Amino acid sequence: MICRRALEALRNGVPNRDAVRVLGSGQPEIDHRFSEQLALVGSAVQEERQVPGLLIAGGFGTGKSHLLEYFEHLAISGNFVCSRIVISKETPLYDPAKVYSAAIEAAVVPKLTGQAIKEIALRLKPDSLRYAEFSQWANRDDSGVNALFPATLLLHERLKNDLDMVEEITSFWSGDKLPVKRARDGLKQIGQTSAYVLKAVPVRELALQRFRFAARLILGAGYNGWVLLIDEVELIGRYSLLQRGKSYAELARWMGKIAGQQYPGLTAVATITDDFATKVLSDKGDRDSVRPKLHSKGTDEFMALAALAEVGMRIIEREAITLSNPTQSTLKRTYDQLRDIYREAYGWSPPDFVFPEWALHTRAMRSYVRRWIYEWDLKRLFPDEKQEIEERVLGSDYTEDKDLELDSYSGETDEVMREIG
């Protein structure tokens, strides 16, 4: 069954855990970099810093998504909570609130199922050292989170038998609204009304604070950290110039390159097409146009954003790690593995191809894999018919799309927090 599920995923060009389990990643050097990245998360938390992320570049079908699937497997095996996010119209990179919602919805917790934050919260042990460190951090003046977060943490601890309150708190940690009056009523029940001064916070900043708090919550519950796997970053090439500038700044954030805006306990890997720097930063002119566009807004916020966007663009140009081309030995090894999987899946021995005839004609490993599977499918199902397979190479499209213009990036105050006054 596992072999059939793996083949079905590979046949469709959409890798799943079964496919990754049987084939691995095929990128040993990048695998090593990622393992080192995970190993540094613990010590980085002690130093109040975020482990720098990895930006992986590759063409269409070269295995970027397959690699992220493999990284998810490694992270979960290493006791990390892992969130795989695909940048899309519904999840624009420039909008932290939508990215947070996607991250929480997609979060996979080792050995657990169900809604991630609620499951993690159930693992909090108030008498443990990890929890004590978490609570101490949340109550620090320099924690970087609004007083509502330590207040709800205290309520979660003290009112654990009030199931409705616990549900509302974990929903707030997951990204939902929490009426401030509800929090105040809870504090009144435990005699802590004056312990926390609740103040308004902008929507975008609240989302970033949720990331900071959730990373610490994950550590406090006994996990080793939180891994964000951000796929298809190249979609930002279709945003408007202003949105691209904001997205470059957000990329710098998740790569851990913004001094003073760190997220200890969290680390990230993102993927992007390997022609993005040429097609968008150079040919489209972003390298020269983003800073003036952001400066034209005339506010301190956008002045600072321009500097961060510059950092994000430099990461794309100078720090992206390009997927290695499949060598003939890599192809032969993958071919042999896949042939064995096919034999076990269908109880049928696939015929051998004359391998060197089409080795290394393309960089996309997915193209090889799908062709082998299709050839065997046709031979197995229609042994007496001559079949031909036609392949087409798809390129990247960086044409601006007005449908991607939705933007909640602003200083507007969250309705939940507006009640504070």
Residue 393 lies in a domain: no
Write down which residue in 323, 357, 373 finishes a domain: 323
Cα→Cα distances 74→2, 57, 379, Å:
19, 20, 36
Residue 17 lies in a domain: no
Residue 333 lies in a domain: yes
Contact 309, 249 (CB under 8 A): yes
CATH number at residue 312: 3.40.50
Residue 63 and residue 257: Cα distance in Å, rounded? 26
Same domain membership, residue 317 and residue 227: yes
Same domain membership, residue 229 and residue 89: yes
Note the pLDDT of residue 131.
97
| pTM attached to this predicted model | 0.87
Residue 397 lies in a domain: no
Same domain membership, residue 230 and residue 315: yes
**Which residues are CB-contacts of 414 (< 8 A; sequence separation ≥ 6)?**
177, 200, 201, 202, 203, 206
Same domain membership, residue 52 and residue 180: no
Residue 365 lies in a domain: yes
* Rg, C-alpha atoms of the chain: 24
Q: How many domains does the chain have?
A: 3
Same domain membership, residue 104 and residue 49: yes
Residue 363 and residue 369: Cα distance in Å, rounded? 12
The tens-digit pLDDT sequence of the chain (421 residues) is 778 888 887 887 766 777 776 677 778 899 999 999 999 999 999 999 999 999 999 988 788 988 999 999 999 999 999 999 999 999 999 999 999 999 999 999 999 988 999 999 999 999 999 999 999 999 999 999 999 999 999 999 999 999 999 999 999 999 999 988 899 999 999 999 999 988 778 888 999 999 999 999 999 999 999 999 999 999 999 999 999 999 999 999 999 999 999 999 999 999 999 999 999 999 999 999 999 999 999 999 999 999 999 999 999 999 999 998 777 787 888 888 889 999 999 999 998 876 544 444 555 677 788 888 888 998 899 888 776 666 665 567 888 887 776 554 444 444 444 444 3
**Three-state secondary-structure class, residue 108:** strand
Note the pLDDT of residue 329.
80
- Residue 347: is it exposed, middle or buried by C-beta count within 10 angstroms (0-12/13-18/19+)? exposed
Residue 184 lies in a domain: yes
Report how far Cα 230 is from the mean position of its chain's Cα atoms.
Answer: 3
Note the pLDDT of residue 331.
82
Same domain membership, residue 149 and residue 90: no
Same domain membership, residue 232 and residue 141: no
Same domain membership, residue 295 and residue 337: no
Owning domain of residue 373? 328-381
Same domain membership, residue 100 and residue 229: yes
Residue 290 lies in a domain: yes
Same domain membership, residue 241 and residue 287: yes
Write down which residue in 280, 308, 323 finishes a domain: 323
Residue 78 and residue 108: Cα distance in Å, rounded? 12
Same domain membership, residue 235 and residue 319: yes
Note the pLDDT of residue 11.
84
Residue 298 lies in a domain: yes
Report how far Cα 394 is from the mean position of its chain's Cα atoms.
Answer: 24
Residue 9 and residue 11: Cα distance in Å, rounded? 5
Same domain membership, residue 199 and residue 152: yes
The dihedral through the CA atoms of 297, 302, 304, 308 has a sign that is negative
Compute how many other C-beta atoms are within 10 angstroms of the C-beta atom of residue 193: 12
